[in-house]
Amino acid sequence: MRRVIAAAMARSKREIPHYYLAHTVDMSRALDWLAHENAQRPVTKRLLYSVLLLRAVALAVREVPEVNGFWIDGAFKQSEAIHVGVAVSLRQGGLVNPAIHDVDKIGLDELMERMLDLVNRARTGRLRSSEVADGTITVTNLGEQGVEAVYGVIYPPQVALVGCGKIVARPWAVGGMLGIRPTIQISLAADHRVSDGHRGGRFLTALDRLLQEPEKL
């Protein structure tokens, strides 16, 4: 598996002209909404904040479609579907990148169920071939590992990867007043053959805006 991963990542860095952008997002509203929502649910139906990130990424893709698709035969092929790949580390070592299909078309509850099921099957070797091959954009979240910032390598032939770090309490000014807010750093690694910093910046701005309105996700 390490040889396969090495070959894919070497190809990515050799062939794809990466550019990187990062944006720090105030997660106060998202976490407050999540806490209120989970307080009304049984333990088995509670949501993780990672599903908010996945759903927000999918909706931001609608606004900036240049980050969703594949570079094949010297040209960009935009995908109409939004299948979000989720980087999953395996207990025995290695990494897989299965996709949750049509994330922009399903609600948070179904997304939560699909994500947990996907991670479980990835770690028990029961993934379907379509889940491994169909991702149109990838999200990697290393917050649980204590990482504050992630600058990932794009999975070819995809053209973008979103990296999420851990939630950190930081000084934050709102309306001229300084306080402490829970924040997360979200990065974008994108293919410069397809998009540029302007479009990448629009994507991260859209992602931030969507996370400020978690009740609409």
Q: What is the DSSP string of 123-180?
A: HTT---HHHHH--SEEEEE-GGGT-S-------TTB-EEEEE---EEEEEEETTEEEE
CATH numbers and ranges of domains, the chain: 2-212 (3.30.559.10)
- Of the chain, the percentage scoring pLDDT greater than 90 comes to 82
Q: State yes or no: pLDDT of 182 exceeds 90.
A: yes
162-170 mean pLDDT: 97
Locus of tokens 């950190």: 168
At residue 3 the predicted structure's pLDDT band, cuts being 50, 70 and 90, is: confident
74-86 mean pLDDT: 97
**Residue 15 carries which DSSP code?**
H
Q: Which of 10-14, 21-25, 78-82, 136-140 has the lowest mean pLDDT?
A: 10-14
* Angle formed at CA 55 by CA 11 and CA 68, multiple of 5 degrees: 35
Q: State yes or no: pLDDT of 199 exceeds 90.
A: yes
**Residue 196 carries which DSSP code?**
-
- Contact of 126 with 117, CB cutoff 8 Å: no
Helix (H) or strand (E) holding 26: strand 18-26
Note the pLDDT tens digit of each residue in 147-156. 999 999 999 9
Q: State yes or no: pLDDT of 8 exceeds 90.
A: no
d(CA 66, CA 193): 10
pLDDT of residue 144: 85
Indicate the angle between helix axes 197-211 and 49-63, nearest 10 degrees. 140
Q: State yes or no: pLDDT of 1 exceeds 80.
A: no
